Structure 1
Amino acid sequence: MAGMPGVSAVWTRAGDRYTRVSPVRYDRMTNPGEKAWFVQHAQELVDTEAAAYGPEVIATLVDDTTYSVAGDHGGIQRRSQQIPIVFAGADLSRTDLQAPVRSVDVMPMLLKHMGIAVDPGLDGVGYTLPTRPSRGR
């Protein structure tokens, strides 16, 4: 995998995390912020796949590289990971929740907001959504 075009690193699963087994190909990273993003987030992002049913080997890819099809869930690149999540409603505004919300946080957050107990084994954070007094509706 390390020799494939666009591969930045190769990782193998070791229990509940991945271990990098190849050098990082920083020379393939052409975007100025790509290296910094990789250094800061690559390990945590590949580790999200570390489960008994996860892949044994992962090859991370540099920006603008894919070996997939349209509509996939992307890779560890910043554009694939920083997707806006918008909560809208009569009592919510865009400034009410300023947190690094991840997709896995949506379900526990909504369950918490609806007063439903969140299973402690569930991934994600149940952030508190603001509530305001009703305005006569």
Structure 2
Amino acid sequence: MDRILRDVVPSSCEPTHKKKFRLLTLAGWIEFKIEWERKRIKVGCAKITIWVPRLRWREAKLVFYVYFKVSKNVIASALKIAEVCAIRSALGSAVLGVVTSNIAAAAAAFKPLFKRCIQQEIKKCLYPGLLMLKETRGWQ
């Protein structure tokens, strides 16, 4: 029945924005590379160009971030979800009341259906996660 009600009364999360917080630095190391540079040198009365190696290095770290995406307008999204869930729960409890011919059962079913719908829809609008990045500085 939940699937049918989701199709009858759809809900959507508004555009989201992402928040990211640095959690910890796991490891740090030095990276090396060799770049070849052209160098002009004077040999006697002539100038020649040669290629010479140059050692470059930089610091690198493995950093963990925790992030989540949430609606840009949380209050408007919460009200929209509550409206959608109220309609879905009312429809679901009405169907239950008609099938069982029991109005009291329909009224009692509304609140649990509403709470379950709110939990399911809120979960759809939150996107948490962990992110691992390699952070580096410029080459020295």
TM-score band (shorter)?
under 0.3
Using the size of structure 1 for normalisation, the TM-score is 0.19
Between the two structures, name the one with larger relative contact order (CA 8 Å, sep ≥ 6): 2
Q: Which has the higher strand share?
A: 2
Q: Greater share of helix residues, 1 or 2?
A: 2
